[in-house]
Structure formats: C-alpha cells, structure tokens
Amino acid sequence: MFHRILVEDWQRALTIASFTLFFGVFLVTLLRVARMQKKEVRRLENLPLEQESHE
C-alpha cells in the first residue's frame, strides 16, 4: 500500500480518471440545467431584482 502511494506510476490512469470524474459531474449538471423550465429560470434570475425599501 505504502509503496503504491509513494512510488508507483499512476500518471496514465490519473489523467483519464480525473477527466472522467469531472466530466461526469459536468455532464450531470449540464443535463439538469438543460431540463430546467424557462419559467423557473426567469423567476430565479429575477430574485435579486425584486424591490425593497432601499430601491
């Protein structure tokens, strides 16, 4: 185990694994976002613009 952590050559696997992991997260988020309803997006993006007494 220690030998593996310290010296083994992980380079080839790491680059692919990192990309796969991130791309998985990215893809799921992208699909989620693409499926959001327009009406809901409009409502959410206007939350900061709602009036209060300072306006």
Partner 1 sequence: MTASSQKIRIEFNDHVVRQFLVASVFWGLVGMLVGVIVATQLASWRANFDLPWLTFGRLRPLHTNAVIFAFVGNMMFAGIYYSTQRLVKARLASDFLSSLHFWGWQAIIVGAAITLPLGLCRGKEYAELIWPLNIAVAVVWVVFGWNFFWTLKRRNEPSLYVAVWFYIATIITVAVLYIVNHLSLPTSWTHSYPLFGGVQDALVQWWYGHNAVAFFLTTPILGIMYYFLPKAAGRPVYSYRLSIIHFWSLVFLYIWAGPHHLLNTSLPVWLQSLGMIFSLMLWAPSWGGMLNGLLTLRGAWDKVRTDPVLKFFAAGVTFYGMATFEGPLLAIRSVNALSHYSDWTIGHVHSGTLGWNGFMAAGMFYWMAPRLWNRALYSTALANMHFWLGLVGILLYVAAMWVSGITQGLMLGATKEAGTVLTYPNFIEAVTATMSLMHLRALGGVMYLAGFVLLAWNLWKTAAGAQTVNGSVEVPAATAAPSAMGVAGGFLNAPVLYSLSLIGCLILWGAGHGIVAGLGLWGVIAVVIGALTHQQFTGTRWSEWYERLLENSLPFSLLTAVAVLIGGVVQIIPTLLLNKADQVGEVRQIPYTPLELAGRDIYVREGCYNCHSQQIRPLVGDVLRYGDYSKIGESIYDHPYQWGSKRTGPDLARLGGKYPSVWHFHHMRNPRQISAGSTMPNYPWLFVDPTDVAALPTKLAVQRRLGVPYPELSAAQIQENVQAQAQTFAEELKNAGAEVPADREIVALIAYLQKLGKSETIPATKTAQH
Contacts of partner 1 in 15-34 (CB under 8 A)? 15, 17-19, 21-22, 25-26, 29-30, 32-34
Q: Does 47 bind partner 1 (CB under 8 A)?
A: yes
Q: Does 3 bind partner 1 (CB under 8 A)?
A: yes
Rounded Cα distance between 34 and 40, Å, is 12
Rounded Cα distance between 37 and 34, Å, is 8
Mind giving me the DSSP string for 26-49? HHHHHHHHHTS-HHHHHHHHTGGG
The binding site for partner 1 (CB under 8 A) comprises 1-3, 5-11, 13-15, 17-19, 21-22, 25-26, 29-30, 32-36, 41, 43-50, 52-54
